[in-house]
Structure 1
Amino acid sequence: MIEIYGHGGDRETAAEQFGRPVSELLDYSANMNAAGPPPGLLDYLADCLPQIMHYPDPAHRRLRSLLAERNHCTEEQLVIGNGAAECMALLLLALRPERVGLIEPCFSEYAQLSGQYGSEVIRIHGRKELDYRADAAEICELIPQVDLLFLGQPNNPNGVQYVSEDLRRIADTARTHDVTLVVDEAFTDFIPRARRVSLQSELEQYPNMIIVRSMTKFYAIPGLRLGYTISSPQLSIRMRSQQVTWSVNTLALAAGAWCLENSEAAEYEQQTILHNRSQRDRLHEHLTGMGCTVCPGEANYLLAELPEPWTAEHFQMAMGQHGILIRSCAMYPGLGSRHIRIAVKDEDSNTQLLKCWEQIMIDPQQAEMR
């Protein structure tokens, strides 16, 4: 197991465990844009380096203005954070819910942060026949039992969305019971705009809703950390009151602004969506052909259940010996010992992954590791 900190993308731990330099690892355990940062961004950030001699703008004015324009909302509705995880921490600190509801499996930070800030976590589980979503009726039964509910849209690790009818039913129930609904849309940018299911345009009807977005994953800048929330101005004020001054650094703010106003980034966004869909379909087809059960996710990752008798732990170790990192999902409540998650990468990397996957599946020496 390489997820000793509860997440994928821990290349240092993997390098120690598999005896390989970090530079030789092909990381499928973290879900970043396979294209890397938009062309021109790194050169722009190099030009911005002298700015680190000064404090960042504590009000995030330039980026807030651009995000408001992009999302057709007001600047007062936005909170910019040091990654989506800080945004979640801020809303928990601001609202101090006694009980937090989760639909497992889901992003591990929901439970970790809730426990860290003193909330009791109440869980229900998604159903396999619903691709590990919960039935909307079950979620609506959970809502009166909690003060705040986290909902992934699309959810991590299964990558699926709730349909518009169910999402609106959940939001209506949360509003009726005065429960805060936190909709995590960190991966929505990977989905074609016509297929995204969001209630952002209806926020005025749901003053108890907070939408969480990430710029880290889509623009491949996880080392900079950049996320934001959209909610009512009243909720935004409460969240900002909990934020440490200068928590968002100068380079992160500059990168976010560049991505939103540069024409090169606009073309990159469209190419990313097209590439992600084609390569995700390719991986889905090949993994199914090798005996895996694969969720029909819409994000830039796939949840798969390995064929018996493989377990996630043993398959992760076998792949790691070949320098390829995958995410074991065996520790996710609601999933089993054979569940793994892989990112969607570029064509050449995916070819390498599939070739190694097939080799491990049929090689008797690898089979001994099971």
Structure 2
Amino acid sequence: MIERFGHGGDLETAQAVFGVDRGAFIDYSANINPLGPPQHVLARVQQELRDVVHYPDPDHRRLRALLSEALHVDESMICIGNGAAECMALALLAMAPSRVGVIYPCFSEYAELSRKFGAEVIGIHGYAEQGFRAELNEIAGLMQDVDLLFLGQPNNPTGVQYDLEELEQLAAIAADTDTMLIIDEAFMDFIAPDRQATLLPCVEQYSHVILIRSMTKFYAIPGLRLGYAVAGPSLIHRLKSKQVTWSVNRLALAAGEACLVDCEEYEAVTREQTVIERNYMIERLEQEFGCQTWPSLVNFILVRLPKPWTAEQLQTKLGLKGILIRSCAMYEGLSETDIRLAVKDRERNEILFNKLIEVWQGGV
């Protein structure tokens, strides 16, 4: 496996392992919008370069104002972070939990960050037949045993979400058990607004809920690191009190500001293309290769390979041909036959399937 650091998108390691120049890979291991950044966002970053001699705004005022307008929440309810991961870290620092709950399989940083900050991690497992969601009563039981719970919504690597009624129940349980509920909505933007199950419109009502979102995946700017948390003002104040000054650089802030202006067409095309290409990939994976998939709502697909294939074998064979895929063998709750594929555009998807056919015909 090439996930030395527990994540996809590690082109440096892939180059060293497979002997392919890092710029030549088609990367299906990282879930980034295949449209690339909007052109006016790149132009804004280029323009901002002349001002790198100045410190960035430590209070991120312009970006918070734009997010406030876009999300229909007060500016005091927003904390800008150096990626969603920093927002998770700030939540852990601010709440200082002794025990953190997770629902496997899930984003590895939930457990990794928790352990780095001295917390014990306690997990339960979702059920494959339910898209790896856990039963609500099991989550409630876990919340009685932990101080903080991470919930992926939609979850990574499965791409499924809990419904709004379930989220409302969990928010109420969080208050009753005095458990902080951190809902990771990093991929929420890939879902059409009318299908998003989120507590965002009423998050201020919940004293124990923090929502965390990423701007890097949907707008294809992961190299800049940009995310934000949304919660009641008192919770946001606690997060910001733990944040290192200037942790978000001015290029990232400028890109974020540009992403929130004149991107309606980009957003609509992204969501439309994601649905079309995701369905296309699922159909081919299941019908031509005998794979099992789960009903993802976002820009990646969890795939179970038919035996005798393993994730490591397929990753190696495709890697040598310039295609990177994400092995999910290291995810607790998944198996050595599980991979995750990003959803890309038709041109690159055709290349993926052509290479997959070559590999498949050659056998394990």
The TM-score normalised by the length of structure 2 is 0.99
RMSD over aligned Cα atoms: 0.8
Map of 1:347 onto structure 2? 346
Map of 1:237 onto structure 2? 237
Shift of 1:360: 1.3
Deviation per CA, 1:304-358: give whole Å up to 9, x if none. Answer: 0000010001110011011000000000000011000010011100011111112
* 2:40–2:258 Cα contact (<8 Å) kept: no
Map of 2:282 onto structure 1? 284
Deviation per CA, 1:108-153: give whole Å up to 9, x if none. Answer: 0000000000011000001111111111111111110000000000
Letter in 2 for 1:272: T
Map of 1:311 onto structure 2? 310
Shift of 1:89: 0.5
Give runs of ≥4 in structure 1 deviating > 3 Å: none
State how far apart, in whole Å, the 1-side matches of 2:198 and 2:41 are: 29
Letter in 2 for 1:160: V
State how far apart, in whole Å, the 1-side matches of 2:203 and 2:98 are: 24
**3-state SS of the aligned residue for 1:53?**
coil
Kindly indicate whether residue 160 of structure 2 is the aligned counterpart of residue 169 of structure 1.
no
Residues 236-315 of structure 1 aligned to structure 2 (within 5 Å)? 236-261=236-261, 263=262, 265-289=263-287, 290-315=289-314
Map of 1:361 onto structure 2? 360
Map of 2:31 onto structure 1? 31
5+ residue gaps in structure 2?
Answer: none
5+ residue gaps in structure 1?
Answer: none
**3-state SS of the aligned residue for 2:52?**
helix
Shift of 1:39: 2.1
**3-state SS of the aligned residue for 2:197?**
coil
Aligned residue pair count? 363
State how far apart, in whole Å, the 2-side matches of 1:53 and 1:24 are: 34
Deviation per CA, 1:261-297: give whole Å up to 9, x if none. Answer: 2x2x221011100001100010011111111000110
State how far apart, in whole Å, the 2-side matches of 1:214 and 1:224 are: 11
Shift of 1:165: 2.0
Shift of 1:205: 2.5
Shift of 1:207: 1.2
**3-state SS of the aligned residue for 2:70?**
helix
Kindly indicate whether residue 75 of structure 2 is the aligned counterpart of residue 72 of structure 1.
no
Identity of aligned residues (%): 53
Shift of 1:74: 0.6
Letter in 1 for 2:238: R
Shift of 1:161: 0.4
Letter in 2 for 1:269: E
Shift of 1:47: 1.3
Map of 2:329 onto structure 1? 330
Map of 2:155 onto structure 1? 155
Shift of 1:204: 2.9
* 2:92–2:117 Cα contact (<8 Å) kept: yes
* 2:300–2:343 Cα contact (<8 Å) kept: yes
State how far apart, in whole Å, the 2-side matches of 1:139 and 1:358 are: 41
Map of 2:184 onto structure 1? 184
